[in-house]
Structure 1
Amino acid sequence: MAADGVVFAEVGRDVSDMLGFRQRGVWIVVGAFLAAVWTVVGYLSWETDSWIPMLAAAVLSCSVVVIVRAHGDPLPGLPTLVALLTGPLVSALALLQTPADLAPSVLLMWIHGGPTAVYCFTAVRGRFPAVFAGVAAMAVVFGFWGQATGQTFMDGVSRMIIDAAPLTMSMLFALVLRPTASSVFLLRQQTLERVAQTSADIAADEERTQQLDILNTLARPLLKRIASGEELSDAERTECALLEAHLRDRLRAPLMSELKLDRLAYEARLRGVDVTFIDDSHLDDDPAAVALDDRVTSALAALCADVLANTESGKVFVRVATPGRSIAASVLLRDGDENVRYELDHSGDVTVFH
């Protein structure tokens, strides 16, 4: 069963999903079961004039809720321990106030039938040893109750024979269900991985096509002009330099294109400003790395727009930091002897250094 647990851990599912334990309807079944138990216990408490059977029913109710709510496969250790102790504890508490003359009635059946239901689900969740231990302990309690009420030890144990059928069925069900569930969840995970890979391939193809279209639109006219062999004019040479800088930005700092800074950078370069964009946010391959917050990207776009629009000369360096740095991005303006540095933290606040 440990192998099953490994598979389920990989796909994030367990047998309880196939049993519908994640659905709200399961609580209707649980409520009906516990309502029946408490109805019998209420009558038994009235007959025996004792509150101890209610304590036993409370223990059983808590155990049922724990088993239904527990996630993981096989069943985790603490819920397994709760299930194991349910049978002997409920039996000991309930039988303490149950005289022998109630033995043939339905009032005795809930004492071993309730824990048996818990053991059935425990078996399906892959904890056979806990089921065997719990049933054995419960049988011992019934045996001593038989002796204490003027019967034999085996007379007490025989009251539980009826539980053999559901327990056997649950174990056979588990032996069939668990391997099947393992295969189903593994196939589901493989399907999800294939779909994700296909989606990634489609997205990559679309991005490649889009970039080729952009490159074709921007570079083809100048490439044709260069291929003609005619000497380029000064304006065309300037246009080539600007295009080269623009294409370099798209490769080195794709985030700046997403922030619509291409046009502002183009206009600043026309005025003679040396603009350099660097985006290092994609260099960290850690899947746990958190993308830039929207507040940071909005603040960065506004800051760059202001700096590029109001700079007439010098150099402008815009850099998005790698994940994990104390700052999210920085903008450096150099104009002669004047150096101004802007730093953005991960909340989008800007600090200016002169």
Structure 2
Amino acid sequence: MDAALIEPPEERRWWQSDQREDTSAVIGLQSGFAVVALGTTWAVFLMLGLMSGGVERTWLYLVMFGAIGVAFGLLLFAPGTPAASWATGGAVIAEVGAAAAFVWAIVPVDRGAMMPFAGATAVIGALFCLRGRVVSGWVSFGLVTVVLGVLGRQRADALHYVTEPQSGNLGILVMMTVFAAIIGPRAEQIFALRRQATRESKALAVRAIRDHELARLDDRVRPLLRRIAAGGALDDAELVHCRLVEAQLRDRIRAPGLDVPAVADAVWTARERNVRVVLLDDRGDRAALSGSEDGDGRLDRARAVVVATLLDSSSGDHVTVRLLPEGRQTFATITVASDGGVTLRELDGADQPV
């Protein structure tokens, strides 16, 4: 019931950072498709540059695109919202280094070799804005412009190194700045609403579980209360029923992690057979770890083992179930004392018998 009401978190791939709540999430930049698209864009720009005939130093051109790839990767995978400072600084350094290599890698002012560099750096500027680092994007743009201007004058005494790539990049950076200013607050609102909906869903799940448990308890307690209120002595069967209800109430307090219908019914049936059952939950935050919170399924599997053990128990047995504190290799223990012998069963972190 609780597992169906609460949706499990999306599994992240090894190459993905933790889920970020920013503009990049709204436009799908955290998906695998974005990784493939950016990787393909990088490869296409590199091939176009090498095929342009304007590359004078191939090794330096490859170094330049290596630095551009580093900037792509840092801005795409960097954790945090906005992107982490170390990743942002690394992307700025990588782009500026690529600009320095670019000037000396191509034939002076060869337009065919300039355009791939211009397109790649435009993508970097867009990524800065999408990752919430608009100011860093402008700082990087300014530093690249200065590097291109200074080294370009030394290389060919021409400003084409600045005007050719940076004129188009300026317009793109302006557009992405406006886009980030409009979409950024909307993204925050979207994720704020999503967090609120998640909290409300969990609250509804908890209330549903509590209502179900109260209804289950009411079915067993109300007849007894009416019988007691009516006066008269209780017969032996009613006294046994009272002791069973009292024990179940004690279980809910001492072992909230085991307070689910399947376990409760198995315990009730076992006690009716004169099996002594003790349930303990010694985990730290039992309220958070019980009931609706079992993301890895360990608790559900432990409950299944407990139910099976109780169903196999016989009259006169003494069964003790204990959920151990967090951080231990053993998750739970089940002790069964029967016919003068004691059997200890331990469940490890995967809820497998040790």
Partner of 1:187: 193
TM-score, normalising length from structure 2? 0.74
Amino acid across the alignment from 1:136: G
Q: 1:215 aligns with which of 221, 227, 234?
A: 221
1:81 lines up with 2:81 in the alignment: no
Q: Secondary structure at the match of 1:345?
A: strand
Partner of 2:9: none
For each residue in 1:167-205, what CA deviation from the matched residue of structure 2 results, as whole angstroms up to 9, or x when unmatched?
111112112221221112111211221222123223322
Amino acid across the alignment from 1:253: D
CA shift in 2, pair 1:49/1:284, >3 Å: closer
Alignment check: 8 A CA contact 2:282 2:322 kept: yes
Q: 1:41 aligns with which of 39, 44, 49?
A: 49
Alignment check: 8 A CA contact 2:92 2:136 kept: yes
1:65 lines up with 2:66 in the alignment: no
TM-superposed CA distance for 1:165, in Å, is 0.6
TM-superposed CA distance for 1:330, in Å, is 5.4
Q: Secondary structure at the match of 1:346?
A: strand
Partner of 1:323: 325
TM-superposed CA distance for 1:242, in Å, is 0.9
Partner of 1:117: 123
1:285 lines up with 2:298 in the alignment: no
CA distance in 2, matches of 1:283, 1:60: 48
1:126 lines up with 2:132 in the alignment: yes
Q: Secondary structure at the match of 2:58?
A: coil
TM-superposed CA distance for 1:77, in Å, is 2.4
TM-superposed CA distance for 1:114, in Å, is 1.4
CA shift in 2, pair 1:342/1:304, >3 Å: farther
CA shift in 2, pair 1:245/1:34, >3 Å: same
TM-superposed CA distance for 1:110, in Å, is 2.3
Alignment check: 8 A CA contact 1:56 1:93 kept: yes
Amino acid across the alignment from 2:114: L
Rg larger in structure: 1
Alignment check: 8 A CA contact 2:21 2:187 kept: no
Q: Secondary structure at the match of 1:99?
A: coil
TM-superposed CA distance for 1:75, in Å, is 0.8
Partner of 2:108: 100
How many residue pairs match? The answer is 319
1:239 lines up with 2:237 in the alignment: yes
For each residue in 1:247-301, what CA deviation from the matched residue of structure 2 results, as whole angstroms up to 9, or x when unmatched?
01221225487331322321327xxxxx353433578436468786566445544
Q: Secondary structure at the match of 1:328?
A: strand
Amino acid across the alignment from 2:248: R
CA distance in 2, matches of 1:108, 1:42: 11
**Deviates most, 174-183 or 279-288:** 279-288
TM-superposed CA distance for 1:74, in Å, is 0.6
CA distance in 2, matches of 1:196, 1:13: 20
Q: 1:158 aligns with which of 147, 163, 185?
A: 163
**Bigger relative contact order, structure 1 or 2, given CA contacts below 8 A and separation 6+?**
2
Partner of 2:16: none
TM-superposed CA distance for 1:120, in Å, is 2.0
**Deviates most, 120-129 or 276-285:** 276-285
1:258 lines up with 2:262 in the alignment: yes
Root mean square deviation of aligned Cα:
3.6
Partner of 1:54: 62
CA distance in 2, matches of 1:48, 1:186: 52
For each residue in 1:128-175, what CA deviation from the matched residue of structure 2 results, as whole angstroms up to 9, or x when unmatched?
3422332222112211233223425x5543332332111111112112
Runs (5+) with no aligned partner, structure 2: 1-18, 253-257
Amino acid across the alignment from 2:230: A
1:345 lines up with 2:346 in the alignment: yes
**Deviates most, 156-165 or 242-251:** 156-165
Amino acid across the alignment from 2:224: A
Partner of 1:174: 180
